[in-house]
């Protein structure tokens, strides 16, 4: 029997990741010989991850143990996660999820077959429940993100989602001072900066909000 860990890391420096430390500490406390921890720094929406694929296809063997800290470190899509759990079970791999006490019990050592069957059923129900919770949490997070983006767009605070600002605000302010000084027209400056009509006037609006006296002078 060989023991392996799997974890989707949340930082580029995986040695600072809390989950990796938890797996190492658990194995040390329970005298388990941890061979390796396979890590991916990728989304949990699907299982197209290089290190996970290597672990499942080339490393794990019948009777081995696979440890994860939380079920959402394995996956966040309930259907795909449960499919992977069934695959692990069919390979006769013992999956241990540190946040789920039922998965930490070695059911193979139970003499009472009925009790073992009941615990296996409870264990599978808990895994499915936690998979549902993981999926629900990511759906809520994505919903909040979409709502936040929509509100920012309505307020004119969001331009070209996912892209860097077209120009730094301080650069626009410096450039627009040439307009207020009469050195260049707004249309000429817009072309010079390469800004769209919407983006240019959004920056101009912010400039006037911070400098109302200039706005009033231009109206005269």
Tell me the Ramachandran region of residue 43: left when phi exceeds 0, alpha when psi lies from -120 to 50, beta otherwise.
Answer: beta
Distances (CA, A) of 164 to 21, 126, 171: 35, 43, 14
Average pLDDT over residues 163-185: 83
| Rounded CA separation 76/83 (Å) | 12
In a domain, 158, yes or no: no
Identify whether residues 85 and 24 lie together within a single domain. Answer: yes
- The DSSP string of 166-193 is SS-HHHHHHHHHHHHTTSS-HHHHHHHH
Q: Is the pLDDT of residue 85 over 90?
A: yes
Average pLDDT over residues 164-180: 83
| Count of other CB atoms within 10 angstroms of residue 170 | 8
Domain count, the chain: 2
Shared domain for 27 and 110, answered yes or no, is yes
Flag the least confident range among 25-34, 104-113, 148-157.
148-157
3-state secondary structure 43-65: CCCCCCCHHHHHHHHHHCCCCCE
Residue with tokens 């059923």: 121
Backbone angles phi and psi of 34, in degrees to 5: -75, 120
Token pair 């040439």 in the structure block, residue: 178
Are 102 and 208 members of one domain? no
Least confident of 27-31, 83-87, 99-103: 99-103
Same domain, yes or no: 176 and 97: no
Going by pLDDT thresholds of 50, 70 and 90, the confidence category of residue 218 is low
Q: Does residue 145 form part of some domain? A: no
Instruction: Tell whether 38 and 119 lie within a shared domain.
Output: yes
* CATH number, position 123: 3.40.50.1390
Say whether both 14 and 103 belong to one domain.
yes
Q: What is the pLDDT of residue 181?
A: 85
Q: Does residue 7 share a domain with residue 100?
A: yes
In a shared domain, residues 84 and 186: no
Q: What percent of the chain clears pLDDT 90, i.e. is strictly above it?
A: 30
> Is 149 domain-assigned?
no
Residue numbers of the domain that contains 202: 169-219
Indicate if 99 and 193 belong to the same structural domain.
Answer: no
The whole-number average pLDDT for the span 59-87 is: 92
Give the model's pLDDT for residue 106: 82
88, containing H or E segment:
helix 78-90
pTM for the full model?
0.61
Task: Please say which residue of 99, 118, 138 terminates a domain.
Answer: 138
> What is the enclosing helix (H) or strand (E) of 5?
strand 3-8
CB atoms within 10 A of CB 126: 16
* Bridge partners of residue 5, in order along the sequence: 37, 67
Point out the domain boundary residue: 138, 154, 178: 138
Residue 112 placed within a domain:
yes
Residue at 22 is within a domain: yes
Mean pLDDT for the chain overall: 84
- 53 with 115, same domain: the answer is yes
> 44 with 114, same domain?
yes
2: phi then psi, degrees, rounded to nearest 5: -115, 145
- Max mean pLDDT range (12-26, 51-65, 111-125, 187-201): 51-65
Examine the domain organization and report whether 21 and 106 are in the same domain.
yes
**Spatial CB neighbours of 206, under 8 Å, sequence gap ≥ 6:** 169
CA distance 164 to 198: 16
């Amino acid at each position: 029997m060989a023991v392996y860990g799997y974890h989707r890391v949340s930082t580029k420096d995986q040695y600072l990741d809390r989950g990796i430390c938890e797996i190492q500490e658990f194995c040390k406390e329970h005298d388990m010989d941890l061979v390796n921890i396979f890590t991916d720094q990728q989304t949990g929406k699907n299982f197209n991850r290089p290190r996970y694929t290597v672990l499942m296809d080339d490393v794990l063997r019948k009777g081995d143990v696979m440890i994860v800290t939380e079920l959402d470190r394995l996956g966040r899509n309930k259907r795909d996660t449960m499919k992977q759990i069934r695959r692990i079970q069919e390979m006769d791999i013992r999956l241990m999820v540190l946040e789920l006490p039922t998965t930490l019990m070695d059911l193979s050592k139970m003499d009472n077959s009925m009790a073992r069957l009941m615990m296996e059923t409870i264990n599978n129900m808990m895994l499915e429940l936690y998979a549902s919770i993981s999926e629900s949490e990511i759906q809520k997070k994505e919903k909040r993100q979409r709502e936040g983006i929509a509100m920012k767009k309505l307020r004119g605070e969001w331009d070209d989602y996912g892209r860097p600002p077209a120009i730094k605000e301080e650069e626009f302010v410096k450039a627009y001072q040439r307009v207020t000084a009469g050195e260049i027209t707004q249309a000429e400056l817009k072309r010079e900066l390469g800004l769209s009509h919407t983006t240019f006037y959004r920056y101009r609006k912010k400039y006037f909000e911070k400098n109302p006296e200039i706005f009033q002078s231009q109206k005269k």
